[in-house]
Structure 1
Amino acid sequence: MNSLLTDPTEFAGLLQNFFVDRLLQQKNVSPQTIKAYRDTFRLLLNYAERQKGKPPTKLTLNDFDATLILDFLGHLETERHNTVRSRNARFAAIRAFAKYISLQCPPALQLVQQILAIPMKRFEKPLIGFLSREEVQVLLAAPDNGTWYGRRDRIMFALLYNTGARVSEMISIRVADVTLGVTSSLRLHGKGRKQRTVPLWKETTAEIRDWVKYAELAPENPLVPTRSGGRPMTRTNVAERLALAVTKATNARA
């Protein structure tokens, strides 16, 4: 048995170098990708500790095999109730690490080949529904404009409607990303460090201008912050606020 496959320091070094050298220095991936990969390996290491009966500091390349990965993917779906899409995203991070191992540690090539032979799981892509203009207007009017939360939520929904931004793009918008003037626009930061600029309607421009003044936001602040500390909202926060607005809008039309 090759000592590289049974030495915990070899596995730990490869994992550290994968993040520091491969992802950050060589590929210069986005902070969102780093966070997603970090969360994947946090879950995987915790799962491996329970299954193997040893802490992450004692794990070896021999422990990082196809059986562990298959069981982990099943755990994501059955116990954590992840969707197939989420399961595949986690697996993509693991595959990237496996390919890195194959280049840095040839004795582990057979282990890597078995991991890479695991297929991504197919899934049905649901049809995307849509709201009529009247329904959108009812939703935009649902938040209470007399409260801080209501005004924040109105801006949030207006941005999503006006720009077609993903939620992850919307919550990352800083005040400095907004240009208000005769022709107003907004800079969005997408996946893979991609940026794009989209125009803003007059109504959206007016609401943003009033909101920034009302909330006393500085250029470096998130445009749609949390109430305490001025931190960016999370996707969970947005989903919760949207659910509340939908319930209110539905009751108003009933």
Structure 2
Amino acid sequence: MEEELRYFVAYLENIRKASHNTVMSYHSDLTKMIAYLHGQGMDSVSAVRTTHLNSYVLLLEKDGMAAATISRYIASMKGFFEYLFREHMIEEDPAFTLKPPKVEKKQPGILTIQEMEHLLAQTTEDTPKGCRDKAMLELLYATGMRVSELISLRMEDVNLRFGWILCRDEGRERMIPFGEKAGKALLVYLERGRDAFLKKDTETLFLNCSGAPMSRQGFWKVLKGYAARAGIEKDITPRMFRHSCAAHMAAGGARMHMIQELLGYSDLTAAQIYAGFQPEVKNEYSKVHPRG
């Protein structure tokens, strides 16, 4: 079974072009499944039946694993055996009838597109601080990145010419596109705002008034100030920007795989929470993001 898993991983990497985190998630889930099957005396994928996989799922439930995590394991198994069946390595797909447990999906707190537009309209570019704030908020909404990723950005991470940004968080990297409005706001900040905060040589993109890197607390205060100015009564948080970006793209027709990759989720299950906002399928960023 380990050999078939290696083939599947190679398929994910070379054909599907899945992210490193996605590949590692599949590999981890399936390695545990294979260990269980070996323990049941099975050494060949052709010997696996639906009853064996159902028994494995029951064991996961008995061990107290969360329904969302079990759903991810089942998704990994279905992907693996579907690949084996398609490649004629097995004659029947034992995972075809597997169904994930029902997960109560709590809709994330988001702003409507109109509320987001109104909030972003509160930022102006008549001062260095306004230029910085507009660039931060536009970029956060354009990319859906985490605040920790936003404040960690370096000058070299921004490619204004092609509209891409290199995002780093906890040792992971991913390239994220951003739209015209975020690009214009970044350009104005770099041309008219950043030098006013610069006290010493640093490659950090967003700086506070002391010339130090913007902190999470500092960004929180910036966001709260503009939310109050916009008269929005919702308890706005930086994470709400991330959820709003994903939900608005889903409403525009973005595929769940695209949202997973852009937001840096390790597996598809996390992105499925936005599926309720998805009316149709498109895949170009500029078509699915309101400010693309």
Structure with greater contact order relative to length (CA < 8 Å, sep ≥ 6): 2
TM-score under structure 2 length normalisation: 0.42
TM-score under structure 1 length normalisation: 0.48
Structure that is richer in helix per residue? 1
